[in-house]
Amino acid sequence: MIYRAFCVALALTLTILAPRAPRAEEATTPAATAPAAGAPGTAVPDAAAPAAAAPATAAPAPAAAVPAPAAPGTASPTAAMPDAGKPGAAPSAAAASSPAAPGPSAPAKAAPDAATAGAAPAAPGAAAPVASTLNDVARLLAGLPLEATSPLAPLAANAEWRRHARSLDAAFGRVEKLQLSKIRTWSAHNLPQTRPTLLYFFSGPDFLYASAFFPQVKTYVLAGLEPPGPVPDPLKLKGRLSQGLGQIQASLSSILNYSFFRTIDMKTQLRSGHLDGTLPILYVFLERTGNTLVDVELVRVDREGAVAKDEGKAPAGATQGAKITFKSPDGDVKTLYYFSTNLANGGVDSSGFLKFCATLPPADAFIKSASYLLHDGNFSKVREFILENSTAIVQDDSGIPLHYFEPNLWELRPFGRYAGPISLFSGRYQSTYARLFKKSAPLDFGVGYRWRGYESNLLLAIRPPSAVQPQRRSGL
């Protein structure tokens, strides 16, 4: 379910054509199937997002700004799909909204003209042209300044790129103020010691929230249905860069306004033929949170859990993905894995994804806008894996049902208000959750399908030291 290899030849001095306007939509869908919402073995689409703010299926012109989040109190969207790339989730109508999604750990910079642009971070000595150019690609897509000497600088001189940069500056600035800064404060108080690995399944390319809740993690593992796509190369777009930038803005609209991706939108937005797959979105999130890209490669995981470079000849049953090495703002070198995989029991049985996860250092888990798939018996294997291999779990009520947390193994700390599921998932109401949240701590930000701050909920489940047992990292 995933693909391609990186183009490493950006060493030329280039004169780039200005982007023009055509747009085309072509897609390849990951072969992942799962049960329909609410029924065993059914998959539920990503979080409901407001109809008004939902991006058009076709990538809009880059001049279009990312919509501002709906004001608290506005009606929930009428149709939506849960978080993008919920493995095993099939699209379905949904209704839900969510607040302006968090922004970067560092405020976005205004994008200057290419000739006067500020310098992009580069390794001392700039001995690795491939790595430095890779980061330039990410900064270009993220609407951040480039060195005037960068081979990509002529692209950033284009008026469409400048509009793209201003739009992302504004959107990420809102999200930083309303969401991310508050999430990092919450995390510092409630998650002072995190494990080296974060397991974020049903995530789509949502590195934004993963890094806000778990900034100290060394290895991030994200999993969704959408393929990573080829390694982005703006120079190959010729006159179509403006359409590619518009595609990025459309793909970001839901998460930057409501905190989740919508599967139904991602199926078209990430396959328009310009900048396809999840990698361009991951590039934007990494750069907009102050990181520097060092390396990226397409990878595959075989049925035994072994990871290898994907050269386009993945064997049957291999799980495809991408491995991104990046440097955090404090200089730590970290790794982000994104895999396109079906997390329903059948998908888990036929892949080595969980076996790979079992080889990683001790982990915490994050679950958000997960279509309530972990309530379903058809996702029991991944649910058990998370419970057996996590020391702390941060989730909204779309995650693991309360009755699976054994009282002698888990300490439960509720935050916010449990208002029940949105109408699309009305059958997933938990009376035990309602009782637990009668004595919850306050939450000053919104997250998940109930994205408004006054109706959001988070559960922090911690395995106390006395209850930590040698983890069963079987990988099923």
- For 402-433, how does the pLDDT look when each residue is reduced to its tens digit (9 = 90+)? 999 999 999 999 999 999 999 999 999 999 99
> Who's near 270: CB < 8 A, 6+ residues apart?
27, 226, 227, 229, 247, 251, 276, 277, 278, 281
According to the model, what pLDDT value does residue 164 have?
95
Backbone angles phi, psi at 395, to 5 degrees: -150, 160
Cα angle vertex 419, ends 88, 75, to 5°? 85
Tokens of 448: 């998940």
The 10s digit of each residue's pLDDT in 214-273 is: 999 999 999 998 889 988 888 887 677 888 898 888 888 888 878 666 655 555 555 566
Cα 462 to Cα 113: distance, rounded to the nearest angstrom: 49
Paired tokens of 398: 């779309």
DSSP three-state, residue 352: coil
Taking phi over 0 as left and psi of -120 to 50 as alpha, with beta for the rest, 325 belongs to beta
Q: What is the pLDDT of residue 87?
A: 47
Structure-block tokens of residue 130? 């491939």
Give the pTM: 0.74
80, 84, 89, 92: CA torsion to nearest 10: 20
> Going edge to edge, which strands form the sheet with 307-309?
307-309, 292-301, 319-327, 333-340, 219-224, 197-201, 363-367, 390-395, 457-462, 411-416
- Pair 424, 94: CB distance under 8 Å: yes
Q: Which of 107, 98, 121 shows the shortest CA–CA distance to 172?
A: 107
- Helix H or strand E encompassing 333: strand 333-340
Question: C-alpha dihedral over 166, 167, 172, 174, to 10 degrees?
Answer: 100
How high does pLDDT run on average in the chain?
Answer: 76
Residues 184, 447, 203, 474, Cα dihedral to 10°? 70
Q: What is the pLDDT of residue 6?
A: 34
182 touches 175 (CB < 8 A): no
State whether residue 454 is helix, strand or coil: helix
Q: Where are the alpha helices (DSSP H) in 125-261?
A: 129-142, 153-156, 159-175, 181-190, 207-213, 241-258
Tokens of 396: 């909204």
Q: Which residue has the higher pLDDT, 36 or 157?
A: 157
pLDDT tens-digit profile of 53-89?
333 333 334 344 554 444 433 434 433 444 434 444 4
**Reduced to 3 states, what is the DSSP secondary structure of residue 414?**
strand
> Measured between alpha carbons, how far is 160 from 139 in angstroms, rounded to an integer?
15
Whole-angstrom distance, CA of residue 249 vs CA of residue 266: 12
Q: What tokens appear for 115 in the block?
A: 């000739």
Q: What is the mean pLDDT of residues 327-336?
A: 97
Paired strand residues for 457: 416
Q: Give the span between the Cα atoms of 444 and 27, in whole angstroms.
A: 39
End-to-end CA, the chain: 21
pLDDT tens-digit readout, 337-366 = 999 999 999 999 999 999 999 999 999 999
Which stretch of DSSP H or E encloses residue 280?
helix 279-288
The proportion of the chain whose per-residue pLDDT surpasses 90, expressed as a percent, equals 55
